[in-house]
Amino acid sequence: KYIKLISYENKLDNCVSDSYSSEELGELMKDKVVTINTYNSQSERLGLGSGFVIAHYNNQTFFLTNSHVIVNADTINIRWLDGNIDKAILVLDGGGTIDSNDIAILKIIGIIGKPVKIRNDIPKLGRDVIAIGTPEDDFYEYTISKGIISSLRARGTQIQTDTAINPGNSGGPLIDYSGCVIGMNTSGRDDLQGINFAISNKVL
């Protein structure tokens, strides 16, 4: 039921008009994108990733991130750009690793932030996009990088982009200039420059 809720609420807008600048997109997403920190049972930090708000329901806020961001976590913290931290509950784990099942849904109690809009149609090659997330360390929280859609892979379920996607960017949104999410950043090739990937909105 969570997937149906997310699809209905977030895909009402057709996201056709490229009406935003990069600066405006940076401001628009500030209350939508979060940093995710995970810890083991001894409160030792396991990892770091990114995520974004997808829905409000029944006094709860829901987030999308990658499954590999929260793997083996006993505690999951959501950190907002203003520094506030909320403890998250795992709702759904696709169990994937850098594939179309690499999806997890988290929730917190309370209505916080604003849900993103997710594009309905698959965007075309060459479309300008930006990625937002926290690459590598909390010091680089809310980093914005710009690029294009380089290709569509795996029958449109995976977007290849030259937008910079580094460790910690995983789970963050890939956004076009309509202000809508077209994918969830997932991985990059360490051995090649400008070859990075996101799960496409066809899956989300």
Confidence of residue 12 (pLDDT cuts 50, 70, 90): low
pLDDT, mean over the chain:
90
| Between 122 and 7, the higher pLDDT residue | 122
- Of 50, 67, 145, 170, which residue is the catalytic one? 170
Q: Is 31 a catalytic residue?
A: no
Q: Is 190 a catalytic residue?
A: no
- pLDDT of 6 reads 54
Give the separation between CA 133 and CA 116, rounded to whole angstroms. Answer: 14
Q: What tens digit of pLDDT does each residue of 156-203 get?
A: 899 999 999 888 899 999 999 999 999 999 987 777 778 999 999 988
Asked if 185 contacts 52 with a C-beta cutoff of 8 angstroms, the reply is no
Asked if 198 contacts 149 with a C-beta cutoff of 8 angstroms, the reply is no
Q: What tens digit of pLDDT does each residue of 31-85 get?
A: 999 999 999 999 999 999 999 999 999 999 999 999 999 999 999 999 999 999 9
- Of 102, 145, 187, 200, which residue is the catalytic one? 102
- Of 67, 68, 99, 178, which residue is the catalytic one? 68
- Region 99-111: mean pLDDT is 94
Confidence of residue 10 (pLDDT cuts 50, 70, 90): low
- pLDDT of 14 reads 65
Which segments of 4-116 are extended strands (E)? 33-39, 45-57, 60-65, 75-79, 85-93, 104-109
Q: Is the pLDDT of residue 26 over 80?
A: yes
Taking the CA atoms of residue 197, residue 163, residue 160 and residue 64 in that order, the dihedral angle to the nearest 10 degrees is: 40
Q: Is 99 a catalytic residue?
A: no
Kindly state the tokens that stand for 77.
Answer: 């913290």
Q: Model-level pTM?
A: 0.91
Kindly state the tokens that stand for 78.
Answer: 């959501």
% of the chain exceeding 90 in pLDDT: 72
